[in-house]
Structure 1
Amino acid sequence: MTDTLALLPHTLPHCQNARLALFAIRRMGAHGLHDACAAHGIFTSFGQDFRRPLMLLRALMADLAAHAGGTIAIAPCCCARMTSAEAALLSILHRIEVEPMQAQFLMSDLLGIRRVEGPLMAAAAVTAAFADAGRPIAA
């Protein structure tokens, strides 16, 4: 039990939009950017306006993979808890518009690099896409 809590120290977010983003992040992280389950989840949640959030999530995941100084731990989709990296990423998505400096520090810690402007802008675009569709990501 303590191993599980050490690897997955955070509970899932209460916000359904944050859970949707986490689901897509987990699926794309484990199965690739063009994972059908991630695309279906976004499609069923956003309806005909699914393209923008899906493409921006793919861009975010590609930026994270390209800029990460190490591995970013993600849990399987079925896990009822989150890794510290997943919690940090959701916190970045939540804070990017209201606390951009904290989001920048979190992104820098997550990726292990100092220059995080690209991935940070991708995160801001994802947050804006969710909010514009009436699905803001809350903590």
Structure 2
Amino acid sequence: MAHSHDSTALDLPLPARRHQTLALVLVRRLAGHGLHDARATMLALDAGGTEFRRLLVLARALVVDLARTSRRRILLAPCCAAGMTRDEGLLMAMIGGGGLDVHGVLTDDAGCAIAMTTAHALGDELERLATRNDWRR
């Protein structure tokens, strides 16, 4: 069933912060190329250094949780796209700490907040890495 939010248009600009863009590209790569994508692993290694596993595991867990719990298809742009889909904007809002309202719109299932918990954990890890890597300019 098509919804009014099933647009593949890149309606939104890319995130302004480096750690947010990292999250978006990680999710795009893992969802599009598989959970064991080597480029996603290298991105996590570059950002996290010796602590890259936590970032990579949380990103993988988010992709799996969304795939298992979403009642609708979540539209992602290709990795190199110069903008974000509406769904990606909702995903970034959820990683940034968005609540059940954002989760409900993204997955059509506000009652099952498993993906929201994982998104918040990923957001916390990205904030920690941004502070550690001095990406806060």
What TM-score, normalized to structure 2?
0.86
Percent identity (aligned) = 31
Higher helix share: 1
- Residue matched to 2:65: 63
Alignment length (residue pairs): 128
Hey, which bits of structure 1, 4+ residues long, moved more than 4 A? Answer: 135-138
- Residue matched to 2:74: 72
- Residue matched to 1:13: 15
From 109, 116, 119, give the equivalent of 2:112. Answer: 116
Task: Map residues 127-138 of structure 1 onto 2, 5 A cutoff.
Answer: 127-135=123-131
What do you get for the CA RMSD once the two structures are aligned?
2.1
Could you tell me how far 1:107 is from its partner in structure 2?
A: 0.8
Looking at structure 1, the residues matched to 53 and 118 of structure 2 have their Cα atoms a distance apart, in angstroms, of 15
Looking at structure 2, the residues matched to 77 and 118 of structure 1 have their Cα atoms a distance apart, in angstroms, of 25
Letter in 2 for 1:18: Q
What TM-score, normalized to structure 1?
0.84
Looking at structure 2, the residues matched to 17 and 53 of structure 1 have their Cα atoms a distance apart, in angstroms, of 11
Work out whether residues 19 and 130 of structure 2, in 8 Å CA contact, stay in contact via their aligned partners in 1.
no
Indicate the larger mover: 43-52 or 123-132.
123-132
Q: Which runs of 5+ in 2 are unaligned?
A: 1-6
- Residue matched to 2:51: 49
Task: Map residues 16-35 of structure 1 onto 2, 5 A cutoff.
Answer: 16-35=18-37
Could you tell me how far 1:134 is from its partner in structure 2?
A: 3.6
Looking at structure 2, the residues matched to 67 and 6 of structure 1 have their Cα atoms a distance apart, in angstroms, of 21
Note closer, same or farther for the CA distance 1:135–1:76 as it changes in structure 2 (3 Å cut).
farther
2:101 matches 1:105: yes
